[in-house]
Amino acid sequence: MTREMKEHVESQYHKVKEEIISRHEQLFPSSITLDGFLWAFSMLRSRAFSHLRGQLVMLPLVDLINHSASITREDNAEEINGPAGLFSWDLLFCLKSTMPVKEGEQVVIQYGLKKSNADLAFYYGFVEPNTNRDSYTLTFNISELDPFHREKLDIAAANDLGETAYFDIFMDRPLPPAILPYLRLVALQEADAFLLEPVYRKSIWKTLELPVSHVNEELVCKMVIDACESALSGYRTTVEQDEKLIQEGNLGYKLEIAVTVRVGEKRVLQQIEGIVKEKEAQLDKLEYYHERRLKELGLVGEEDETYCQPKKDSIPTL
């Protein structure tokens, strides 16, 4: 994560330097270096408040407020009308505690309930011992070589996803709601490609929320399992080895944070792989698109017998 983020910031620096700084040098009397740009970026990401007026706001002193895992709400900042001088009123920043604070106690807030330990480590320099902060970002993409690349790309874009999609998976939490529809879309092959036709466009995402076909669901499982196994193979240590390193307590502060994030990622990958392998073993018991459609048309009875024509009480009405 750190390497990818640094590469992203460096690319943004070169873009800003080319499109803005170099064209308006008179506005920048002091040289803006990459190190300075990285510092400014880190200050914004770690200290700015982002939920006021829909923009980033830097507030000296307020940004010294520490985080506490005991705080389970994020509504700790708001704008209020208040005195801005002797005879004037204006919008003021208000920081509030979501729990009682005694005199002399430290005021703390929640930095973000949706942030993973990797986020906390990267932006703030600490982690929590809670395993529900453990996460891993799985990445999937629609191949340019896919014969239905354009159609799939259009459907993904219509659902706020792109050619490459990133899904943050957290320990002991449900999968992101968009991951299975996206993977089923990616895995659609010729036998199920009729679903990509324009007549199905309005309803295809809802269709993809449920299993499409045995072949499609099998490919989805394989994609996830392969991704997990590939990621796990990139680590040089096991979960048990990392847990032992942490328990021994001989790691420095930064190294302990890194190992904590690393072992959390492995746990998440192992959990996902186990869940998907269990699902893979149950594929024959799932109900797929054609079966659901036949039932909707009244061509399948309660005992799964099929009819040549719909039962009278099952004929869809217009």
CA separation for the pair 167, 159 (Å, rounded): 14
Kindly state the average pLDDT of the residues 105-125: 89
Based on the fold, state whether residues 137 and 252 are members of the same structural domain: yes
Kindly state the average pLDDT of the residues 88-103: 81
The answer to whether position 93 is within a domain reads yes
**What's the total number of domains in the chain?**
3
Q: What percent of the chain has pLDDT over 70?
A: 90
- Encode pLDDT of 145-164 as tens digits: 999 999 999 999 999 999 99
Based on the fold, state whether residues 214 and 268 are members of the same structural domain: yes
Gap between the terminal Cα atoms of the chain: 53
For the chain, how many residues are written?
318
Based on the fold, state whether residues 183 and 255 are members of the same structural domain: yes
Do 170 and 119 form a contact (C-beta atoms < 8 A)? no
Comparison of pLDDT for 162 and 83, the residue scoring more:
162
What CATH number is given to the structural domain containing 153?
Answer: 3.90.1420.10
Is the predicted pLDDT of residue 91 greater than 80, yes or no?
A: no
Based on the fold, state whether residues 141 and 180 are members of the same structural domain: yes
Based on the fold, state whether residues 87 and 216 are members of the same structural domain: no
The answer to whether position 40 is within a domain reads yes
Comparison of pLDDT for 258 and 313, the residue scoring more:
258
Based on the fold, state whether residues 106 and 162 are members of the same structural domain: no
Highest mean pLDDT: which of 31-40, 78-87, 255-264, 307-316? 255-264
The range of the structural domain enclosing residue 107 comes to: 59-113
Provide the pLDDT for residue 31: 85
The answer to whether position 302 is within a domain reads no
How is residue 229 written in tokens? 């196994």
The answer to whether position 258 is within a domain reads yes
The answer to whether position 163 is within a domain reads yes
Based on the fold, state whether residues 212 and 279 are members of the same structural domain: yes
Based on the fold, state whether residues 136 and 266 are members of the same structural domain: yes
Provide the pLDDT for residue 110: 87
Based on the fold, state whether residues 237 and 270 are members of the same structural domain: yes
How is residue 106 written in tokens? 């430290």
Comparison of pLDDT for 166 and 3, the residue scoring more:
166
Is the predicted pLDDT of residue 76 greater than 50, yes or no?
A: yes
State pTM to two decimals.
0.78
Based on the fold, state whether residues 183 and 239 are members of the same structural domain: yes
Task: Give the catalytic positions in this structure.
Answer: 111
Based on the fold, state whether residues 276 and 162 are members of the same structural domain: yes
Do 136 and 105 form a contact (C-beta atoms < 8 A)? no
- Encode pLDDT of 223-273 as tens digits: 999 999 999 999 999 999 999 999 998 999 999 999 999 999 999 999 999
Based on the fold, state whether residues 274 and 166 are members of the same structural domain: yes
